[in-house]
Amino acid sequence: MDHGLKFSDPAKYSRVLRRAHELVISGVPRPEIPEMLADSWRRSMALGISPDQHSPRHLHEASEVLELRREHRLQQVMPALSELLADDSGDGRHLLVLADANGEILWRVGSPQVLRQADQLEFSEGADWSEAGIGTNAISEVLVTGQPVQLFSAEHLVRTHHEWACTAAPITDTTTGQLLGVLDVSGPLESLTADTLRMVRCAVSMAEVLLTRPNAGGLLHAGSAGRPARRPTQRQVQRPVERPATAVESLELLGEQPTAVFRDGTRMPLTLRRAEILALLDSRARGWTADELAYELHGDAGIAASIRTEMFRVRSMLGDTVASHPYRFSAGLADHSDAGRVLRLLREGRVSDALEAYRAPLLSRSGTLAVQLLRDRLDLALGAAVRSSLDAGLIIRWLSTDMGSADMSAIEALGSLIGRGDPRYLSFRAGVAAAD
């Protein structure tokens, strides 16, 4: 059986599993259903769970779950897990779930659409998703095996779960080995990607590290939507020096060495990928969704979950100067990049100052098309402003830069101002010809 079909053709893979499900339930073994999974089905049915059952066992009311959250150690890491994996935007496709060590759901975060779908399965706070509560599912399998698990469609025992794909992994106390809970990412079949299991494992590793830090998650309280309030404390783990949320002074995105500059004078080099993301954020005040950034940076192969991982790291470094849902600069950092300053000076009519500030191309090492377009926008805007100034000195300064050296329109504008026999005009024209 081609297991890759779950990503390339999830509907076809689901049909194969559903046929196997019916045969195994009737007592006919099938290779599509591993024996360990079939054993879980048999245990579940022995506990009274029917494949036609719809409702899980409910252990607590919503008000009681709020109290359970406040007393649970995983409250410390829920904000970080939400930041890394949750997608509660309007078009979010998956649900982030955190259950306790017995399989009771304590937290869930997702888009309104996915939450409604989950409500139809009673996949909600206070529900018991152990084998005894609702039969074989990813959470129950983690409780049994102690290992990360991924269940797709009819690998679940209950038929109403066959439209879902679920990936779960245990969160443990690394000093004692005690199971603290289960992290689960679930959604409709098409929401599953080849990176989902890796992302869940990465998130669990992060959570287990955070749990070793005293008060790593801060004092959290459940919000009205069931999502814990956030505090910008993840930076304690990512950076040796804790910084206030407003500590970022500016971003240097021009040239080959992108850097974040903090108000205490320290500087932090940025990887090219993070700098590319920040350049895109700088270009649009209304912000970007994870899906949009994934497409801009990776095309059709882009994965929103990878962007969320990168954005979690970016926000851990830069704090609340980068907002989420959608990702964008907060007011404290808006127009505070060197590239943004060039555009702002042009809007103010300060062409000479803009030319002085434009010291190098935007992220000159980046070959990403979206960044190239932003780079071209800067060149075109400054070139047009310089030419319109009818100032021979400004035009000569522009043509003397790497960014303006090939601007034939500026060369011709200079020729009109100083004469086409002038050595300066001829030298710039000859330079372009030699480059060609």
User: What per-residue confidence (pLDDT) applies to 167?
Assistant: 96
DSSP code at position 179? E
How do beta strands 179-188 and 95-100 pair? antiparallel
Distance CA 426, CA 16 (A): 73
Q: What is the pLDDT of residues 180-222, one digit of tens each?
A: 999 999 999 988 887 889 889 989 998 998 898 765 444 333 3
Length of the chain: 436
pLDDT in tens, 85-137: 888 777 788 999 999 999 999 999 998 999 999 999 999 999 999 999 999 99
- pLDDT, one tens digit per residue, over 250-304 is 899 999 999 998 888 888 888 888 899 999 999 888 889 888 998 898 887 777 7
Q: What 3-state class would DSSP assign to 98?
A: strand
- Binning pLDDT at 50, 70 and 90, where does residue 228 land? very low
For residues 179 and 173, what is the distance between their CA atoms, to the nearest angstrom? Answer: 7
> CA-CA distance, 41 to 375, in Å (whole number)?
57
Can you list the domains of the chain with their CATH numbers?
A: 5-211 (3.30.450.40), 255-329 (1.10.10.10), 340-435 (no CATH)
Q: What would the pLDDT profile of 3-53 be if each residue is shown by its tens digit?
A: 667 778 889 999 999 999 999 999 999 999 999 999 999 999 999 999 998
- First-to-last alpha carbon distance for the chain, in angstroms, is 56
Name the pTM for this structure: 0.56
Does residue 134 contact residue 56 with C-beta atoms inside 8 Å? yes
C-alpha of 271 from chain center: 16
Question: Of 109, 131, 1, 155, which is closest to residue 57 (Cα–Cα)?
Answer: 131
